[in-house]
Amino acid sequence: MTMKNPIVVLLTCVITISTYGQNIKALDEKFGFKETKLEMSISSFSNLVLKVTSPDNPNLKMYKVMRADLKIGNYTLDEIDYWFYKDKLQTIEITVTKGYSNQQGLLRVLETAYGKGEYGKTSYGSDEYHWYGEKVEMDYTLGDDLEPTGDLQIISKKLLNEESYDSSLLRKQKETDIIKAAKDL
């Protein structure tokens, strides 16, 4: 083995790591999807219809986006939903069907823009990819025979952490209320 081989390997690793970091940096810089930015106020939108209010946290609400651009290049999106936490955009959720090749095409677009995501499997066996920036987490699950729908989520880590903390406090308060009610029996 010559000395060139370890140097070539090291240089390849450095280039790969720096490219990965730049791509993740682009995810944080984009901080959203198309013109929509995470943490925008709900008052900035006029094309939303309320779909769901979380039963566990009344500050978390999902809205369907009406009149949305449902394409990324040649790839078709089915629906865009926005999750708001305390009236700030926490999560952009995009549903993708139109076949596995459409979902694979979107994956190639995401990898071109942000690099390879961390690969894993869901509990029911679907392929999933994760990108972790400092400000943004992005998750993409491809559909399969059991669940043909793909799902892309772009999430504000700051608002997700706030919501998780507040939900924990709400659960503890409910437990305290139940214990108090039980003592009143």
> Residue 114: its pLDDT value, please?
94
CA dist 36 and 43 (Å) reads 13
CA dist 117 and 130 (Å) reads 5
pTM: 0.79
> Residue 171: its pLDDT value, please?
81
Higher pLDDT, 116 or 100: 116
Percent residues over pLDDT 70 in the chain? 87
> Residue 18: its pLDDT value, please?
39
Q: Which two tokens stand for residue 77?
A: 């999106």
- 13-22, 71-80, 95-104: the lowest-pLDDT one: 13-22
Q: Is the pLDDT of residue 73 over 70?
A: yes
DSSP assigned state of 38: T
Angle of helix 100-114 relative to helix 4-30, nearest 10 degrees, comes to 100
> Residue 14: its pLDDT value, please?
39
Higher pLDDT, 104 or 69: 104
pLDDT digits (tens, 9 = 90+) for 13-61: 434 433 444 588 999 999 999 999 999 999 999 989 999 888 888 899 9
Q: What is the mean pLDDT of residues 106-127?
A: 91
> Residue 30: its pLDDT value, please?
94
Q: Strand runs (DSSP E) across the chain, as ranges?
A: 32-33, 36-37, 48-53, 60-65, 71-72, 75-76, 79-85, 88-96, 118-121, 127-132, 136-141, 150-156
Q: Going by C-beta distance under 8 Å and a sequence separation of 6 or more, which residues neighbour residue 83?
A: 60, 61, 62, 89, 90, 91, 92, 93
